[in-house]
Structure 1
Amino acid sequence: MSHLTDRGTATRTAVLGADHIARARAAQTSFDAPFQALITDAAWGHVWSRGTIPLRERSMMTIALLAALGNDGELALHLRSIPRTGTSRDDVTEALLHVAIYAGVPRANHAIALARRIFAEADSTGDPA
């Protein structure tokens, strides 16, 4: 394993949780292994692991970008990860307000509805998200 892989795996685990990483590894096939290696090294080992801004701010930027682009699956994953990044629900609200202004009200409206569902699920199960 490379330095980026080690660093990326550690950061990805810290943000998304060990359970998510275990599920991703268990589901990995020879077909998607190169993609998993790419996102571990590039997204998590290089970008998310940079020390220039804290995980909270990276999380808020990621949530805003995913919402603006309509990437619901990834958005849900990152909304569920906010307790591990130090991002609050109020921070999510602020990020989605920016989405409304800069990417459009329909995208923000959809993302807010998704966040409400995820937070309601978390509240009903006792998860901190």
Structure 2
Amino acid sequence: MSEERFERGLAKRRRVLGAEYVDQSMRNADAFNQPLQELVTEYCWGNVWQREGLSDRDRSMINLAMITALNRPHELRLHVRGAINNGMSVDEIREVLMQTAVYCGIPAAIDAFRQARDVLSEMGEI
């Protein structure tokens, strides 16, 4: 593991998903899932999220669509929060989810809207 890449990833992960969530995930890691936390932090957040080709806002937009397509509600909730933290508006989030209705299916979009609405409401955005 690259300590520098891990630290950069940890900082980016905290900024996008929220320090409270990330710190809790790291504290809750045990011998079984600690390697996964390290992989996610270094590889995903310390490598791919550090690339210059897309803005964090663009990455959030793409993630919302992909996570909806994969039907991963827990991850969608995290990335809705991240999308707001990365400067997406509620209207833009809605439009991404509308786009997923056409290409991922209505049931996936309905679930995504439900999760997004709950998070946006918790955040005081709607």
TM-score normalised by structure 2 residue count: 0.90
Post-superposition offset of 1:47: 1.1
Matches within 5 A, 1:21-36: 21-36=22-37
Aligned length: 125
Encode CA deviations 1:31-90: one digit per residue, 9 max, x unaligned: 111000110111111111111111111011111111111100000111122332111111
Q: CA RMSD in A?
A: 1.5
CA–CA distance in structure 1, aligned partners of residues 72 and 39 of structure 2: 19
Equivalent residue of 1:30, what SS? coil
CA–CA distance in structure 2, aligned partners of residues 107 and 122 of structure 1: 23
CA–CA distance in structure 1, aligned partners of residues 21 and 103 of structure 2: 31
Task: Answer yes or no: is 1:94 the counterpart of 2:60.
Answer: no
Equivalent residue of 1:90, what SS? helix
Equivalent residue of 1:22, what SS? helix
Aligned to 2:38: 37
CA–CA distance in structure 2, aligned partners of residues 94 and 75 of structure 1: 15
Aligned to 1:117: 118
Aligned to 1:75: 76
Q: Where do 5+ consecutive residues of structure 1 fail to align?
A: none
CA–CA distance in structure 2, aligned partners of residues 97 and 113 of structure 1: 12
